Structure formats: structure tokens, C-alpha cells
Amino acid sequence: MSSSPSLFSDSQQHATQTVFVFPGQGSQKVGMLAELAEKYPTILSTFQEASDALGFDLWQIVQLGEHSGHQLDQTEFTQPALLTASIALWRVWLEQGGVLPKYMAGHSLGEYSALVAAEAMTLGDAVKLVNRRGQLMQQAVPPGQGSMAAILGLSDAQVIELCEASSQVGAGQVEAANFNAKGQVVIAGDAEAVQVAITNAKEMSGKAIVLPVSVPSHCRLMKGASEQFGEALNAVALKLPKIAVINNVNADVATDIDSLKRALVNQLYQPVQWTKTLDVFEQNGIHYLLECGSGNVLSNLAKRLPFVEKVFPTDTVARFDEALQQVNAIEV
């Protein structure tokens, strides 16, 4: 891992009630961060750093989408694009004197953004790693054979039971993939089995929304990809994060490098425990949540929780400046 100076000092003010969360796939959109880049040059320099590591122009893909010759929604480009967007905003936050969060967490891909922000790995290493992660995920399941859907209005236990029953009919396997919130669980697996589960969910008075994704993440179809990904991860020098990062697979903080690597490998084919992550926030006195990245998906998941007093998306100049002013006023 190339050495670079720390972007924050150990003596910098730490928040006591605020967490930073980093979004995953689905939060990307063509043109993201364009307005912020006009005000904060660090946005462009961060994307240039990522592009130099990858060997292609990531900012052009983000701003032009398919007109750049690449699809932003193709997972091998989506993943480094979202990670770089989050780190660009994080760097601007630090430059503007923003306080450090008490904890960090990222949803799926966002876990890598959290680890880069906490200086567990460099941006250059991370974008190459998630670019490879995206390629392996895409290769693991041929196009059209896998699917994901959000199941709304059923309990976690009902969704698990639904997936087990739907996997028994000979159409393949389907599993709970993301426990996002109470009453919102994403399922993933073979496309036919997911369709069976959707039909069964509606019969149980639940709602189902097919997600526009190119790969079925966080299910056993990704087991083979996870093994290959482990080899790529072993080539990256990791450090323990300087700010505690709550991982996806067991909503815990890794205490050594081996457990950190194991959590990242297992994350590919095991469910994202986001509901449990939010429970950890509640248990540790968190009242404010800042979403460091494109969109406001994670903000929307958290804002109705009784312990959350306010959420702060940061993906426009107005939102970013409001977050900076209000969080610093709360914490300093």
C-alpha cells in the first residue's frame, strides 16, 4: 500500500452522537457530484487519483454515463464510482473542518468507502479492489440468470421462511440478502426462484419490487466469486481503521486484520445486516446520521427510527453545507 499523509489527526474533534454511513449500489446516478465539484476542487482531484489507479477516466463515466462508452450501472464501474464519490465528499468534509464521526458503516460496497475514510486502505488500492470485485460478481452469474427484489411489509422471519419454501420448488435458490429495515428485506438468487418468492410474498399480503441490478449480490451464487476475491484482497495491505467501522456480516467491529478480511470476503455471499447495524448505533447513543455519498437511500432508512433525531444527506451543495454547519454545531 502506498504511503500517504493522514487526512485527519488523532487529536481532531470526535463526534459523540453522530455516525457516517456510506451508500452502496443503487445510489449512483449520471451527473452525481457535478454541482459540488464546481465549488470544491477536491472532488475532481479525488476522481483523478482514482482514474490514475484504474487506468480509465472515472469522472467521465460518472458524468456522461453511456455516452462515455461505458455504462455507469455496470457493476465494475458502479463500484469504484460510488466509492470515489464518497471519499471525495469525505475529503471535502475534513478540509472544511468537519468533526470526525463516532462510528462509520457502509452498506455493502459502502463498507469499502468507510474503510478508506478510516485509512484502513488507500483510495488507489480500494478502487482497483472493488473494480475487480464487480468483475468477479458479474462473471459469477450469467446475465439474466440472477435477480434481486425488495420484499416490503413482512417480518424478517417471514421472509426467511418465504425464501426457504420458494427454494423447494425446483426453480433454484433464493435467500434473504439485505436486512435493510423492519419490514424491508431484499432477496437474491436464481431469477426463477426470486419470481416464485415474489408471487408467494404477495399471497402473504406483502409487496415486492424487482430491483434493476445486474448481479444477485449477498447470496450463495456469489460463493465462488468470494473465493477469487479473497485472493485479490490478500494482495492489498490493510491496516486497522482509525475510526471504528461496523461491518455488514455481523454488525461488529473487526479487532484484527484477519477478521477484517474475513468479513469482507463473507460479505459477498452473506446477507447485509443493516438493521442490526442501526441497532448498534442506538445502543451506543447515536442520534445523528450523515450519509457521505450519492443519494439519500440510507438517510431514508434511518430517519423514521425513534432514536434518530436528524439525518444529513450530503450530495448537493445545499445539503453538504447544512450538514457541515449543523453537525459541527451539535458536536463542537
Report the catalytic residues: 108, 218
Q: For helices 110-117 and 123-140, what crossing angle results, to 10°?
A: 170
Residue 28 near residue 73 (C-beta atoms within 8 A): yes
Q: What is the DSSP letter of 285?
A: T
Q: For helices 75-95 and 317-331, what crossing angle results, to 10°?
A: 50
Q: What is the largest CA-CA distance in the chain?
A: 58
Residue the block writes with cell 477478521: 259
Which residue, 88, 74, 94, 95, is CA-closest to 30? Answer: 74
Helix (H) or strand (E) holding 57: none
Give the distance from CA 146 to its chain's centroid. Answer: 20
Residue 21 near residue 243 (C-beta atoms within 8 A): no
Which residue, 188, 33, 54, 197, is CA-closest to 108? Answer: 188
d(CA 114, CA 52): 21
Characterise 269 by phi-psi region: left (phi > 0), alpha (psi -120 to 50), beta (else): alpha
Q: What is the DSSP string of 113-182?
A: HHHHHTTSS-HHHHHHHHHHHHHHHHHHS-TTSEEEEEEESS-HHHHHHHHHHHTTSSS--EEEEEEEET
Question: And the C-alpha cell for 295?
Answer: 443519494
